[in-house]
Structures are given as C-alpha cells and as structure tokens.
Amino acid sequence: MDVLLVEPSYSNKYPPMGLMKISRYHKERGDYVYFYKGKYHVSNIWDRIYITTLFTFDYDLVIETIKFYYDKVKSLDDIYVGGIAASILTDKFKMDLGLKNIMSGTLTNSSILGFDDGVNIDELPLDYDILDDTIYKYKAGDNFYGYTTRGCINKCKFCAVPKIEGSLDYSNNIKTQVQAIREKFGDKRNILLLDNNILGLKYSDLRKVIYDLVDLGFVRDKTYVKENPFVKLIREYERKADNQSKLSNTVSKLKEYLEKLVDKRISKRNREKLVVILRNINEKNSSFIEGVYENYDELLEIASIYYDKKVYNRYVDFNQGMDARELTEEKMQLLSLLPIKPFRLAFDNLSIRNEYENAIKLAAKYGVKNFSNYLLYNFTDHPDELYERLKININLAKELKISVYSFPMMYAPVNQTDRVYLGEKWNYHYYKNIRSILNVTKGVVAKEEDFFEKAFGKDVDEYNKILTLPREFLVYRYYFEDTGLTRMWEIEYYRLKEMRKLDILLSLLSNNIRESEDPDINRIMIYYKITYNSLKKKYRNIIPKAKEILETRFGLKVK
Ligand code: B12
Ligand code: SF4
C-alpha cells in the first residue's frame, strides 16, 4: 500500500504526532509511507492519504489543502482526515467537504481506519523518520514527545479537551514508548509531555508516572550523552532501507558529516586516512553508501574518537499550564525528583490567586527556579485583571528570587475558525494594543520589573493609559516618545480622563472611527491618524511644533 501523510502548511511547534503514529502502524504492516507538509505537487496516485489537522483557526488553509489532494487518490474514500480541529469541528468538515472519512478523537483501534488487526495506534511509539521527508523544522526540536494521560478532571468552558478527550484517563505506557524509540532511533535528550492536567492524577498514579520517568533517566543529575553521529546515521540508513523509505536525505547527511569531520580538530594521521578513504569512495563508480560500508571499520574507528562525549542535563517539560489547585506538598515532592524545566502553571483568572501563589511558593521551596506560566485573557476577565496577574508574577519573582515568565493566552471560542473574538469586558482598541505589545516580545512578558513596567506600566492607571495609546505610538514607542508627540498625546489623554470621556474615545477607536462631534475628543483624534510612515510626509511640521509647545508651555526638554 502506498501511503501519503500530510500536514497542512500552517506553522506549528511540535511534529505531527498523530501522523507519526499512523506511519509506524503502516510501516509495521510493510507499507510504503511518505510525509509531506503542505501540497505535494507530484502526479502519484496514493492508496491512502491521511491529513492531520490542529488548530481550528487554520480551518480555511486546511480545507484548501484537503481539496488539493482530491485528484491524488482513486476514490475520495481513500482520504482520511483526523486530528484536533477535525475532532472539534467534525460535522462542519463533513458538511464542507462531503468526505466520508472525517475522524474524531484518538486512534485507539486500527478498526477506525478499516483494518482488522486491532492495534491501538494511539499507543504506538512515534516514527521520527517521517520528519526527514520534510524541510520544515519543528521548533520543539528532536526530543521525546508523549502523553502519560489523556483527558482532564475539569470541564473549563474555554477548553476543547473535555470534548475531544473526555475524562482523565491514565495510560501508563510512557516507559514502553521511550524504550521503543531508544531502540529504534537512539536516545534523545529531553521529553515533552503533552498531558492536559497531570496533577489531576491521584497521588498513586502520579507516583507511577514520575517513577517511570526517573527509571528512564530523567533525573536532576546529568545523564545524557550524545550518540556517535556516525553510528546514528548508519542505523538511520539501515532502518529506512528496511522500510523502503527515501534514503537520499540520510546519505547526504552521512556525506556532510564525514566531510565536516575532515575539517575538525583531528590528528594529522586520522585526517590523512579519512581524506584517502573519501577520495577513494568518490573516485569509485559505486554509490557513496557502498563505499562507506567497504570502509566501515576504519570510519567507525575514527568517528568514535571525535564526537562530543560530555554528559548533559536532561529536561522534562510538562507542556501544559499545570493546575495550581491540584498541587499538594506530596505531589510536589514527587515532581521534585524530575528535572522539570520550565515549570509551567496556569493562572487563568484571579479567583485562583491564593492557590496559584501557594503553588509557586511550594515549587520554589523545592528548588524550582524557572517558571513559564500561562495567563488566559479576553475571556470573562476584565482587562485590569490581566495587569494584576502579570504584576503578581513580577512580585513573586522578586520576593522568591525566581524567574517567572508570563505567557498571556488570548481566548477565542474553541469551535471558531478564526481568532477574532472580543471578551465581553474588553474593547477592540485594548485588545489590539495588547497583541501589539506581545508581538514585540514574541508573546512573552518580561520577568524583569523595569522591562515589565516599560511595557505594561507601573500601575493599573498607567497600564490603561498605555492600552489607550495610538497603536503606532505603542509599536514605535521610543520614536514617538523622542519626538515629544507621546507627551502631547498624554496631555490630551489626561484632559479627557478628567472629563470622564475616555470611554467614548475607546468606543470610537474600537469601531475604527477617527472623527467626533465632540471637539474635546477630536483634539486627541489627530494622534490616532498619525502613522510612523506618513509622519515625515503629512505631519512634517508637528515635530518642531510639538517641541516648541512642550518646551515653552511645559518646560520639557525634548531631544
Ligand atoms: C501541545 C499543544 C500546544 C502546543 C503546540 C502544538 C503543536 N502541535 O504544535 C503549544 C503550546 C504551542 C500550543 C499553543 C496553543 N494552543 Co494548544 N494545545 C496543545 C495540546 C496539549 C496538544 C496538541 C497536539 O499537538 N497534539 C498532538 C496530536 C495531534 O497527536 P495525537 O494526540 O497523538 O493524535 C491523535 C488524534 O488527534 C488522532 N489524529 C491526529 N492526526 C490524525 C490524522 C488522521 C488522518 C487521523 C485519522 C487521526 C489523527 O489520532 C492520534 C492518535 O490517537 C492540545 C490539547 C489536546 N489535548 O489536544 C492543545 C490545543 C490544541 N491548543 C489549543 C489552543 C487554544 C492553543 C492556543 C491558541 C492558546 C492561546 N490562546 O494562545 C495556542 C496557539 C498557538 C499558535 N499557533 O498560535 C486548543 C485548540 C482549540 C482550537 N479551537 O483549535 C487545544 C485543543 C487545547 C484547549 N485548551 O482547548 N498548544
Ligand atoms: S484544567 Fe486545563 S485541560 Fe482541563 S478542562 Fe481546564 S483548561 Fe482544559
């Protein structure tokens, strides 16, 4: 059977685990499997095409990609669509595509795909080889990926997990998974666990998970040693040859590795030996790989001397924002056996402030120094609450001498096919400005107090002022501050604040209106029409004028 696995060309951090499991299943059946990210422009007709989906907000791209493959199969029933977005929006996919095989949920039995061998595909170890078929580089790196649980004990309204995975189900196969991957692909340094709520497990189950990870070598001491790259590449070649996979990438990697070895700081004798071997291989008409096998022992001997043999730390990353409400001292004692980095907690709303602060303090007591915490916003929260939560993190970091990064996560309803959604207590102007600030920082809120205060303000009042700024003033902060325009805008802002007219201003701005019948509002509106690019053209004379006013009227010296 010829099988094509497809991931649409959205940008994502983690490799497509679902497809990696499906690949493993088909390769074990003896099928040919190829993976492509995006639209594969070849004339092949495939026996099966599996297309994975992830975020619902990529819906349009996913639909377009699926349709692209319609003429690459004999029958449309040979296209299988699955994964997270397909599980959330199964009916919509079915309606918009008219395909029979839109699958929902996890692949707990191969019968779901029409096979009768009863394999639990969900528990199969991942096939990392498919990642060599694509040039796309997944940011999460070459690590172990897995789940130790599925589902969750909670049913938060903003989350899709209760719908796609149901209640918390403990599946303790992480040990088998990691061991199988080690056997087939060699060791990897870190492990990223995509559970939803690991702390929802009762103590005895959590204990089993943690001890499995400890047994696998994920401990706080250094235990990771890189493998000899030559051995790794030869094993990759042989594994792929067994599966009739495309070998050219591996051969190129092997060639590149050996050529680079010549340039490394190796002994004169070994360099000469290596140069002769490589020249002989190239001069012979046989293939490069045959030459490598002919000189295998000598190459192995040289390669075994020159590679990084240092011992490194490993990291465990529970990718979720862990549930602070469920962190007890007993559970923390268990977690402290692992080299968790970063330690991620969820701070979804102020109502869990006490539990959250206690969880951080407890973790810090057990030596955790690096936190990366998720803060949901634009849901039922008020904008001020985001500031308060960010500030709490800054204060905790200072008080406990730890590092706390905040990752604000913008809410959008889980079944929406775009990300445009405004929380009931938010306005569009604030919403856009928060996104602008986060764009500059790549979504992270600085852990240092001075950076934080510059970005979000010293207090809630200043935060509100920053969120009211014209977007351009926010994005090109220093430029507009230097021209004096920000100061001038501020004067108008405080005037309107006194007059209690800020709500009117924000409502107009949120509706993209830049004119008002109210002269007080119109005075400030001018600043919202200025763009960084047009400044020099249209508002050339504003800068000297601004300077003059600020200097003569307010005694402010402007650069
Ligand atoms: C890890 C993760 C992330 C990672 C990135 C994931 C990635 N792949 O790159 C990070 C941390 C970056 C992330 C970020 C976000 N995430 Co997230 N994330 C997850 C999580 C925990 C796992 C997703 C995953 O990759 N799973 C791996 C899957 C695909 O592999 P698998 O489970 O083994 O696959 C099985 C099945 O899905 C199926 N299958 C899979 N593919 C296929 C294909 C075929 C053909 C078939 C038949 C079957 C099939 O079979 C497999 C075996 O059983 C989910 C929650 C969850 N439990 O699903 C949320 C989730 C996907 N995230 C979610 C959200 C909201 C976000 C954010 C938008 C949060 C925010 N507000 O900023 C951001 C967006 C990031 C962005 N791009 O802008 C929502 C999605 C909601 C939606 N409407 O799409 C989820 C569902 C969680 C939730 N709270 O509701 N996320
Ligand atoms: S605790 Fe996390 S995974 Fe569970 S329902 Fe709430 S948001 Fe979703």
Name the more confident of 165 and 537.
165
User: Which pLDDT band holds residue 555 (cuts at 50, 70, 90)?
Assistant: low
Answer yes or no: is the C-beta of 162 below 6 A from any ligand 2 atom. Answer: yes
User: Which pLDDT band holds residue 465 (cuts at 50, 70, 90)?
Assistant: very high
141: left (phi over 0), alpha (psi -120 to 50) or beta: left
The DSSP annotation for 34-101 comes to: EEEES-------BSEEEEEE--GGGHHHHHHHHHHGGGGBSSGGGEEEEEHHHHHSHHHHHHHH--S-
User: Which pLDDT band holds residue 552 (cuts at 50, 70, 90)?
Assistant: confident
Question: What per-residue confidence (pLDDT) applies to 537?
Answer: 63
Tell whether the model's pLDDT for residue 547 goes beyond 80: no
Answer yes or no: is the C-beta of 163 below 6 A from any ligand 2 atom. Answer: no
- Choice among 39-43, 84-88, 237-241, 548-552 with the minimum mean pLDDT: 548-552
CATH topology of domain 1-141: Rossmann fold (3.40.50)
Answer yes or no: is the C-beta of 349 below 6 A from any ligand 2 atom. Answer: no
Cα torsion through 280, 284, 287, 293, rounded to 10: -40
Spatial CA neighbour of 338 closest among 550, 193, 473, 225: 193
Tell whether the model's pLDDT for residue 104 goes beyond 90: yes
Residue 492 CA to residue 544 CA, distance in Å, equals 18
Q: Which ligand lies nearest to the CA atom of residue 352 in the structure?
A: 2
Which amino acid does the sequence have at 525? M
Q: Which ligand lies nearest to the CA atom of residue 124 in the structure?
A: 1
Residue 139 CA to residue 77 CA, distance in Å, equals 33
Task: Tell me which residue has its CA closest to atom 8 in ligand 2.
Answer: 159
Tens-digit pLDDT profile for residues 159-175: 999 989 999 988 768 99
Tens-digit pLDDT profile for residues 489-512: 999 999 999 999 999 999 999 999
CA 170 from centre of chain: 24
Roughly what angle, to the nearest 10 degrees, separates helices 485-498 and 519-529? 150
Helical (H) or strand (E) element with 409: strand 403-410
User: Which pLDDT band holds residue 542 (cuts at 50, 70, 90)?
Assistant: low
Distance from the CA of 501 to the center of ligand 2, in angstroms? 39
User: Which pLDDT band holds residue 284 (cuts at 50, 70, 90)?
Assistant: confident
Q: Which atom of ligand 1 is nearest to the CA of 87?
A: 37
Backbone φ and ψ for 155, nearest 5 degrees, come out as -135, 60
- CB proximity list for 156: less than 8 A, separation 6 or greater: 162, 348
The number of CA neighbours under 13 Å toward the Cβ of 486 is: 20
Tens-digit pLDDT profile for residues 380-397: 999 999 999 999 999 999
Distance from the CA of 346 to the center of ligand 2, in angstroms? 10
Q: Which residues have any ligand 1 atom within 6 Å of their CB? A: 12-14, 17-19, 21, 50-52, 54-56, 80-85, 88, 103, 106-107, 121-122, 159-161, 165, 194, 196, 319, 409-410, 414
Question: What per-residue confidence (pLDDT) applies to 16?
Answer: 98
- CB proximity list for 533: less than 8 A, separation 6 or greater: none
Q: Which atom of ligand 1 is nearest to the CA of 410?
A: 71
Mean pLDDT, range 45-67, rounded to an integer:
98
User: Which pLDDT band holds residue 556 (cuts at 50, 70, 90)?
Assistant: low
Tell whether the model's pLDDT for residue 379 goes beyond 90: yes
Residue 450, Cβ neighbours under 10 Å: how many? 8
Mutate to test the pocket of ligand 2, among 155, 196, 355 (most ligand atoms within 8 A of CB): 196
Residue ranges per structural domain of the chain? 1-141, 229-305, 470-559
Distance from the CA of 556 to the center of ligand 2, in angstroms? 51
Mean pLDDT, range 236-242, rounded to an integer:
91
Give the percent of the chain with pLDDT over 70. 97
Q: Which ligand lies nearest to the CA atom of residue 138 in the structure?
A: 1
